[in-house]
Amino acid sequence: MASSDPDCLFCKIVAGVVPADIVARTDTAVAFRDIDPQAPTHILIVPVDHQPNVAATAAANPALAGSLFSMADSVARTEGIGERGYRLVANTGAGAQQSVFHAHLHLLGGRSFTWPPG
């Protein structure tokens, strides 16, 4: 049984209580467009199970954490950015600018990127 936090924004999106532009869904994960896109394609991949960050998801359920990367690649290909390349970001902790404390990957693509990131 997946855990859920009634005060968590992404749990509310997963449950359909807060609307979002959902692009993919499985029993265990949901992908939806970021409300403040930082690239032409900016999609969030979130597990249904509430954990505060992807490290916690990986500790609780390594297979689920791995499946987030598979879903990200699948969505990237559907969005037409799989060939050119894309960036996956998992801000982990407030010091890394994480603002929503429900595990998620950012899938970013459709523009050029620089390194190191800002």
Complex with ligand AMP: residue 5 or 34, whichever CB lies closer: 34
Q: Where are the alpha helices (DSSP H) in the chain?
A: 9-15, 54-60, 62-79
Complex with ligand AMP: residue 83 or 87, whichever CB lies closer: 87
Per CB under 6 A, the segment of 33-41, 59-67, 80-88, 110-118 that binds ligand AMP is: 33-41
Q: Is 87 helix (H, G, I), strand (E, B) or coil?
A: strand
Tokens of 39: 């690239």
Length of the chain: 118
When binding is defined by CB under 6 A, the residue of 1, 35, 63, 94 that contacts ligand AMP is 35
91 interacts with ligand AMP by CB under 6 A: yes
99 interacts with ligand AMP by CB under 6 A: yes
- Spatial strand order of the sheet with 41-47 comes to 22-25, 29-33, 41-47, 105-109, 86-89
By the criterion CB under 6 A, which residues form the site for ligand AMP?
9, 18, 20, 34-36, 44, 91, 97-100
